[in-house]
């Protein structure tokens, strides 16, 4: 029994949309943690509180996107879900640990105002885990693209050995993910701050953008030898137009950030991240686990996908207006701190 | 997985119940304009923000664990019962979005708009329970698919799987359990405050709302308890027999309270028998015959001692919880001074943890009573676990994280309360202070 390919494609599309939302919104929250860790200079405290203010009302809603991705993956592609969970046990545990410590550190820190020491300590937990989590997610993506997750020949999957986990390409994709998050975060923060603080974040956006460029430059040649399927599609196949577009957007991003064209920074950054993500998605298609398992092979039944897609449409009709309302209330430019 | 769930559910019940209590307090404020109600709602919303945050991360943990610990279970079940999990994602979104609006919106939204944000918040909590309990009920009464002779799954019907036979009763019972737990938890906090001599309007009203709420929903909860027992009798007779410690198939079966089931002797040692009650509970008929464990192969018996004890704790503690409500009802008009009595306040303090104990033992009954099956009569636990290695270290690490987070959270909640008191003390007589909390 094979599942209808159109349904499969639609379900993958919904995953990619969810991933895009997660990358942009939660990515900015993780990046906020990175800048919390790297807060420096005379406005160190102002930087930290600007970050906390920006994240406060929205981080939980942004976090739900990862839950969405998980549940959709095991609803629509249960076999792929099982493969990833077994093979990537170690890196996924790190993702999980990072998410717990990040959320716990952030929530608890916000309420420990009168205990500077505890607050400093929790802030450290929050910021370090904000670096670890996107790193581990990028790392997982790199491991899968490298084809390191392999079947055991008895219908199950092998855990990816450390030698493969620690190969250069997955490490570089992890670092790239951290830089991308930092870049979006710094860009978003320029919209929510003013004066010298804004200047701080603009410089940070440039710096993070440099990191993105650096790790892309290292990653592409590494992919050539370690992740041939991916790099073939990226550089010579169907993802090439998107890769070119990403390059153009990167350049544009550099220009608008360097020149302080505030109103353009955010749209360009968002477009850049989305294009990078979709380029990766296009290059990885049709595999859920490169090159052993396709989305088609791992899909649920027609009945399940049909019901799922129908519910997705209904759910989106409720979700989208609610999200817009949330961001309208809290994310105009220069929002005041919401009072508790 | 069990310990993560037991941890998560403590926060989840607040996620279901607190929005309702918040709306009650804020509604009372809008009606009476008595500022104490507003203070209560604001304080609760802040505390709720913390417990919700911890609930969200423990829930995240669960979604990952489903995959990391039970990948083969999910591979089997995901394609059948994934639906409610996906829908639950939407419920979480709604709850997270409107919690943010509620929490940070006190001064940004009009009082009316703010109050109305409570409605989706309540619905979000109720819906997430709806979906997750549907998934759990399916493990008890799996429907919506057929297994062909090779063990392959065919004819999947996600809707039928979602609305499986155990689902309606299990949902209602869980929903009301959450409301009961939240009500008693709130009442217990303010009773403790009163006991410490904080005898002001703020604490009295906090206690009154919590206790009245719990006392109203508890009887409904007990009725759903009877319904769920009838359902288990029909769908999982072995589980029922284990819960009751009933080894032999018996006509006009008595209810055995306490005692320790002994599988060798096939009897409950030291139990108290209440004649006919089991037949009445299970079939609403004193002469009905109830199947005993002997009717089922012994290798499929769950842990009899654990299941029987957990069940007894739930029903005895659950029934005992009626007491504070009944006393309060009696004292309301005739003996108002009882509300100042230390013994009564202590009883209310105890009812908070008692409600939680009830709820946890209910879950132990349900989950352990299903052993050795992960999916009843379909998939055994041993066939669902991961083949990955290194689980033990993982388990220890995450247990430590739980403990640290819990300790920190409790100390921060206590600190929040004491800070509020300091501010009140600085600002004037208790109960009349308004303003930013
Ligand atoms: C405040 C909590 C609370 C209280 C007072 C009660 N229960 Fe309960 N019970 C739960 C909280 C709970 C629970 C934790 O919420 C469970 C676990 C699974 C579920 O859906 O509800 C549960 C499960 C559960 C089950 C097992 C269902 C299964 O295995 O599928 C039965 C038979 C009962 N309950 C029966 C009762 C009876 C007869 C009660 C009356 C005295 C009672 N419960 C009070
Ligand atoms: C016993 C049944 C359960 C109930 C009644 C329940 C209910 C809830 C509720 C009301 C919330 C809102 C957050 C809060 O108040 O803390 C929540 C959060 C969450 N639950 Fe559960 N839950 C249950 C079991 C599970 C299971 C088995 C999973 C794993 C798949 C899960 C995953 C989650 C997640 C991921 C969140 C966080 C959502 C967010 O980020 O806001 N829950 N749960
Ligand atoms: C919050 C209440 C819950 C508690 C305290 C709880 C507790 C437990 C316990 C003690 C076990 C047995 C663990 C073992 O044998 O190793 C278990 C198993 C399991 N539970 Fe629950 N559970 C709860 C709710 C749920 C819900 C809502 C779901 C799913 C929607 C769920 C899914 C599972 C799964 C998949 C297993 C593994 C299979 C099995 O052992 O039967 N549980 N749980």
> What are the tens digits of pLDDT across the range B361-386?
998 888 887 877 777 776 767 666 66
B201 CB contacts (<8 Å, ≥6 apart)?
A: B36, B430, B431
From first CA to last CA, the distance across chain B in angstroms is 38
Identify the band that residue B437 occupies on the pLDDT scale cut at 50, 70 and 90.
very low
Instruction: Give tens-digit pLDDT for B251-277.
Output: 666 677 776 776 666 666 666 766 666
Instruction: Give tens-digit pLDDT for A191-228.
Output: 888 888 888 889 888 999 988 889 988 988 888 888 88
Cross-chain CB nearest to A78 (options B42, B79, B405): B79
| pLDDT of res. A171 | 93
Query: Would the CB atoms of A82 and B99 count as touching at under 8 Å?
Result: no
| pLDDT of res. B430 | 41
Kindly report the average pLDDT of chain A as a whole number: 84
Instruction: For ligand 1, pick from B134, B164, B366 the residue to mutate: most ligand atoms within 8 Å of CB.
Output: B366
Nearest ligand 2 atom, CA B48: 15
Kindly report the average pLDDT of chain B as a whole number: 77
Q: How far, in Å, is the centroid of ligand 1 from the Cα of B313?
A: 10
- Check whether A127 has a pLDDT greater than 70: yes
Pocket, ligand 1, Cβ cutoff 6 A? B 140, 166, 170, 173-174, 177, 180-181, 221-222, 225-226, 228-229, 232, 239, 314-315, 318-319, 321, 355, 358-359, 362-363, 365-366, 369
For chain B, the structural domain boundaries read: 1-161
Q: B370 CB less than 6 Å from ligand 3?
A: yes
Cα separation, A85 vs A160, in Å, equals 11
Query: Does an H or E element contain A293, and which?
Result: strand A293-294
Instruction: Give tens-digit pLDDT for B312-338.
Output: 888 888 888 887 777 777 667 777 666
Torsions phi, psi for B174 (to 5 deg): -70, -45
Query: Would the CB atoms of B107 and A111 count as touching at under 8 Å?
Result: no
Buried b (16+ CB within 10 A) or exposed e, A249-288: bbebbbebbeeeeeeebbebbbbbbbbbbbbbbbbbbebb
Identify the band that residue B431 occupies on the pLDDT scale cut at 50, 70 and 90.
very low
Residue nearest to atom 41 of ligand 1 (CA): B315
Cβ contacts of B88 on chain A, cutoff 8 Å: 71
Task: Give the single-character DSSP code of A43.
Answer: T
| pLDDT of res. B389 | 62
- Check whether B428 has a pLDDT greater than 50: no
Range among A44-48, A95-99, B238-242, B413-417 with highest mean pLDDT value? A95-99
Query: Would the CB atoms of B52 and A60 count as touching at under 8 Å?
Result: yes
* Residue found under tokens 């040649």: A221
Q: How far, in Å, is the centroid of ligand 3 from the Cα of B9?
A: 11
Q: What is the DSSP string of A149-178?
A: --B-SSSSBPPPPHHHHTSHHHHHHHHHHH
Of residues B147 and A144, the one with the higher pLDDT is A144
Mutate to test the interface with A, among B11, B408, B417, B423 (most CBs of A within 10 A): B408
For chain B positions 409-428, those within 8 Å of chain A (CB to CB) are 409, 412, 415-416, 419
Q: B136 CB less than 6 Å from ligand 3?
A: yes
Cβ contacts of B82 on chain A, cutoff 8 Å: 71, 74-76, 78, 300, 304, 308
CB-CB contact of A51 with A35 (8 Å):
yes
Identify the band that residue B391 occupies on the pLDDT scale cut at 50, 70 and 90.
low
Q: What's the mean pLDDT in A168-173? A: 91
- Helix H, strand E, coil C: the string for chain B is CHHHHHHHHHHHHHHHHHHHHHHHHHHHHHHHCCHHHHHHHHHHHHHHHHHHHHHHHHHHHHHHHHHHHCHHHHHHHHHHHHHHHHHHHHHHHHHHHHHHHHHHCCCCCCHHHHHHHHHHHHHHHHHHHHHHHHHHHHHHCCCCCEECCCCCEECCCHHHHHCCCCHHHHHHHHHHHHHHHHHHHHHHHHHHHHHCCCCCHHHHHHHHHHHHHHHHHHHHHHHHHHHHHHHHHHHCHHHHHHHHCCCCCEECCCEEECCEEECCCCEEECCEEECCHHHHHHHCCCCCEECCHHHCCHHHCCCHHHHHHHHHHHHHHHHHCHHHHHHHHHHHHHCHHHHHCHHHHHHHHHHHHHHHHHHHHHHHHHHHHHCCEEECCCEEHHHCCCCCCCHHHHHHHHHHHHHHHHHHHHHHHHHHHHHHHHHHHHHCCCCCCCCCC
- Check whether A181 has a pLDDT greater than 90: yes
| pLDDT of res. B150 | 67
* Closest-approach residue (CA) in chain A for B413: A111
Torsions phi, psi for A256 (to 5 deg): -70, -35
Pocket, ligand 2, Cβ cutoff 6 A? A 60, 63-64, 67; B 5, 8-9, 11-12, 14-16, 52, 55-56, 59-60, 62-63, 66, 92, 95-96, 125, 128-129, 132, 174
B60 CB contacts (<8 Å, ≥6 apart)?
A: A63, A66, A67, A96, A99, A100, A103
- State CA B69 to chain mean position distance: 23
Residue nearest to atom 37 of ligand 1 (CA): B225
Instruction: For ligand 1, pick from B362, B368, B373 the residue to mutate: most ligand atoms within 8 Å of CB.
Output: B362
Supply the pTM of this predicted model. Answer: 0.83
Q: How far is B19 from chain A (nearest CA, A)?
A: 16
| pLDDT of res. B275 | 66
Instruction: Give tens-digit pLDDT for A292-310.
Output: 788 878 777 777 778 888 8
Cα-Cα-Cα-Cα dihedral sign, residues B125, B130, B134, B136: positive
- State CA B230 to chain mean position distance: 20
Long-range CB contacts (< 8 A, 24+ apart) of B308-311?
A: B308/B242, B308/B243, B308/B244, B308/B245, B308/B259, B308/B260, B308/B261, B308/B268, B309/B260, B309/B361, B310/B361, B310/B362, B310/B364, B310/B365, B310/B368, B311/B243, B311/B244, B311/B361, B311/B365, B311/B369
Query: Would the CB atoms of A72 and B89 count as touching at under 8 Å?
Result: yes
Cross-chain CB nearest to B78 (options A66, A81, A95): A81
């Amino acid at each position: 029994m094979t599942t209808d390919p159109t349904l499969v494609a639609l379900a993958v599309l919904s995953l990619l949309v969810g991933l895009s939302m997660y990358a942009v919104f939660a990515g900015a929250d993780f990046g906020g943690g990175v800048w919390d860790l790297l807060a420096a200079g005379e406005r160190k405290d102002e930087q930290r509180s600007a970050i906390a203010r920006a994240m406060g009302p929205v981080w939980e809603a942004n976090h739900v996107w990862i839950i969405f991705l998980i549940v959709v993956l095991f609803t629509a592609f249960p076999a792929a879900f099982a493969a990833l969970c077994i093979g990537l046990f170690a890196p996924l545990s790190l993702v999980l640990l990072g998410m717990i410590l990040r959320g716990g550190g952030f929530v608890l820190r916000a309420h420990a105002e009168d205990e500077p020491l505890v607050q400093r300590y929790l802030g450290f937990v929050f910021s370090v885990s904000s670096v670890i989590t996107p790193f581990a997610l990028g790392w997982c993506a790199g491991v899968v693209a490298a084809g390191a997750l392999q079947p055991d020949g008895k219908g199950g999957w092998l855990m990816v050995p450390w030698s493969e986990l620690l190969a250069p390409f997955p490490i570089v994709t992890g670092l790239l993910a951290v830089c991308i998050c930092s870049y979006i975060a710094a860009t978003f923060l320029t919209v929510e701050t003013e004066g010298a603080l804004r200047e701080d974040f603009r410089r940070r956006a440039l710096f993070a953008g440099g990191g993105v460029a650096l790790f892309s430059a290292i990653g592409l040649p590494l992919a050539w030898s370690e992740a041939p399927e991916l790099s073939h599609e990226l550089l010579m196949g169907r993802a090439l137009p998107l890769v070119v577009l990403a390059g153009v957007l990167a350049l544009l991003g550099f220009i608008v950030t360097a020149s302080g064209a505030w109103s353009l920074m955010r749209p360009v950054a968002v477009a850049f991240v989305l294009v990078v993500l979709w380029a990766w998605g296009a290059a990885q298609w049709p595999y859920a686990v490169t090159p052993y398992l396709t989305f088609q092979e791992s899909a649920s039944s027609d009945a399940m996908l049909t019901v799922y897609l129908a519910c997705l449409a209904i759910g989106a009709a409720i979700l989208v207006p609610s999200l817009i309302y949330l961001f309208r209330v809290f994310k105009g430019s220069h929002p005041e701190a919401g009072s508790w | 997985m069990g310990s993560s769930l037991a941890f998560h559910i403590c926060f989840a019940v607040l996620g279901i119940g607190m929005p309702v209590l918040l709306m009650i307090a804020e509604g009372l404020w809008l009606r009476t304009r008595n500022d104490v109600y507003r203070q209560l709602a604001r304080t609760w919303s802040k505390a709720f923000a913390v417990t919700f945050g911890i609930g969200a991360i423990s829930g995240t943990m669960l979604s990952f664990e489903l995959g990391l610990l039970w990948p083969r279970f999910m591979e089997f079940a995901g394609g059948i019962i994934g639906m409610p999990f996906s829908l639950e994602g939407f419920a979480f979104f709604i709850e997270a979005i409107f919690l943010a609006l509620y929490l940070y919106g006190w001064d940004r939204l009009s009082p009316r708009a703010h109050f109305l944000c409570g409605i989706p918040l309540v619905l979000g909590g109720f819906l997430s329970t709806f979906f997750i309990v549907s998934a759990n009920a399916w493990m008890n009464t799996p429907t919506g698919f057929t297994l062909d002779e090779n063990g392959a799954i065919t004819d999947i019907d996600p809707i039928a799987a979602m609305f499986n036979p155990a689902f309606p009763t299990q949902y209602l019972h869980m929903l009301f359990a959450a409301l009961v737990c939240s009500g008693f938890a709130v009442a217990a906090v303010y009773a403790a405050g009163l006991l410490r001599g904080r005898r002001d309007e703020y604490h009295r009203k906090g206690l009154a709302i919590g206790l009245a709420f719990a006392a109203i929903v508890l009887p409904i909860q007990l009725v759903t308890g009877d319904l769920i027992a009838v359902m288990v009798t029909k769908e999982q007779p072995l589980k029922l027999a284990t819960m009751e410690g009933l080894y032999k198939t018996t006509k006009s079966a008595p209810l055995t309270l306490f005692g320790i089931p002994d599988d060798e002797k096939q009897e409950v040692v030291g139990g108290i028998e209440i004649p006919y009650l089991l037949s009445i509970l299970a079939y609403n008929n004193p002469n009905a015959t109830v199947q005993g464990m002997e009717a089922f192969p012994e290798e499929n018996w769950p842990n009899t001692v654990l299941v029987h004890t957990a069940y007894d704790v739930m029903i005895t503690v659950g029934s005992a919880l009626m007491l504070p409500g009944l006393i309060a009802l009696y004292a309301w008009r005739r003996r108002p001074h009882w509300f100042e009595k230390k013994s009564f306040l202590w009883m209310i303090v105890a009812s908070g943890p008692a409600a939680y104990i009830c709820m946890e033992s209910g879950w132990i009954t349900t989950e352990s009573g299903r052993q050795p099956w992960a999916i009843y009569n379909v998939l055994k636990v041993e066939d669902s676990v991961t083949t990955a290695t290194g689980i033990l270290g993982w388990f220890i690490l995450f247990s430590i994280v739980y403990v640290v987070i819990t300790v920190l959270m409790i100390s921060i909640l206590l600190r929040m309360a004491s800070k509020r008191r300091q501010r009140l003390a600085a600002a004037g007589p208790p109960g009349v202070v308004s303003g930013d909390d």
